[in-house]
Amino acid sequence: MKSLLAIPVFNEERHLAAVLHRVRRCGMPVLFIDDGSTDRTPELLAEARNVHVITHPENRGYGKSISDAFCYARRNEFDWLITMDCDGQHEPAHIPRFLRAAAKDDADIISGTRYPDGFEDAQSAPRDRVEINRTITAMLNGRLGLPLTDAFCGFKAYRVAALDHISITVPGYAMPMQFWVQAARAELRIRELDVPLIYNDPNRHFGGQLDDPQIRLAHYLAVLESELGRGVLPDRPQTLQTCYFPACSIFRK
């Protein structure tokens, strides 16, 4: 099973060295997507060895970084793609659990859940994030018939072949709205895997107007309704030839 680990980063100089040290223990190829960092992140990645890096010349958003990871995994013919964040919220020690779950071959998406028993005990998480997650998760389950307990966890494993059915065009944090609708339409098999709830920086910002919880929720709902209105996906999946990285630089080390 040929697997890739992809980590979006934006101004993560505080955490990058520690994450690099820990993910190397997993013994799998690692891809970083630097989303226009303006701190020492580019310098630290340039010094790193045995990693692949996609660099955005300017900040384009979390969804764009994940889309690039999907494209990279498909172009390079990986079987599974694991994504995790670089801010200390995802423990690299759990990567082998995702790989073991993938090896069972009974799922297309293995999604981390920080709330396997519900949102009531989420004492360490910012309240607005918990409430928005609760609202969106319930709505996705009701509208799409999904079994989710955590719609926003970025710690995931994807069967790369299943990504033929996914076309991410939403560049920012609302990307999961588009992803879950498309996954449901494609009838992808979804499993959840419990992961720890870790918030090292409860004051971490989304940026701009999205720091306002009401505006953020309204944005998520608008993206969800837009994707629901697009109808079924094309019968013909996106071909590998259409996968490219405009205005991005790719380094192999």
CB 120 within 8 A of CB 199: no
Is the dihedral angle over the CA atoms 152, 156, 162, 163 positive or is it negative? positive
Say what the pLDDT of residue 232 is.
56
What order of strands is seen across the sheet that includes strand 249-252? 190-194, 109-113, 156-159, 80-83, 3-9, 30-35, 52-56, 249-252
Bridge partners of 81? 4, 158
**What is the average per-residue pLDDT within 180-184?**
96
Q: 40 lies in a domain?
A: yes
Q: Give 5's strand partners.
A: 30, 82
Say yes or no to pLDDT of 74 above 70: yes
The answer to whether residue 37 sits within a structural domain is yes
Residue 65 carries which side chain, given as an amino acid letter?
Answer: S
| Residue 25 maps to a domain | yes
> Is the separation of the CB atoms in 194 and 200 below 8 Å?
no
Residue 219: give the domain boundaries: 3-243
Give the pLDDT confidence of 185-205 residue by residue, as tens digits.
999 999 999 998 766 665 666
State the chain's mean pLDDT as an integer: 86
pLDDT band (50, 70, 90) for residue 243: very low
Distance CA 171, CA 150 (A): 20
Q: What percent of the chain stands above pLDDT 90?
A: 68
| 233 inside domain | yes
pLDDT of res. 223: 96
**Residue 35 burial by CB count (10 A; 0-12/13-18/19+): exposed, middle or buried?**
buried
Query: Whole-angstrom Cα distance, residue 28 to residue 60?
Result: 27
pLDDT score at 236: 32
Instruction: Give the mean pLDDT of 25-45.
Output: 94
In the prediction, which pLDDT does 119 show? 79
CATH number for position 70:
3.90.550.10
**C-beta of residue 84 within 8 angstroms of C-beta of residue 30:** no
pLDDT at 249 over 60: no
**Mean pLDDT of all residues in 35-40:** 96
Inside any domain, residue 250: no
Predicted pLDDT at 206: 63
Residue 62 lies in a domain: yes
- Across the strands, what pairs with 30? 5
pLDDT at 245 (0 to 100): 34
Q: Is residue 75 part of a domain?
A: yes
- Model confidence pLDDT, tens digit, residues 137-180: 999 999 999 999 999 999 999 999 999 999 999 999 999 999 99
Sign of CA dihedral 222, 132, 58, 3: negative
Residue 234: which pLDDT band, with cuts at 50, 70 and 90?
Answer: very low
Number of folded domains in the chain? 1
More confident residue, 194 or 233: 194
Percent of the chain with pLDDT over 70: 85
Q: How would DSSP label each residue in 135-160?
A: HHHHHHHHHH----S-TT---EEEEG
Domain assignment present for residue 251? The answer is no
Q: How far is CA 170 from the centre of its chain?
A: 13
Q: How confident is the model over 86-115, as a mean pLDDT?
A: 91
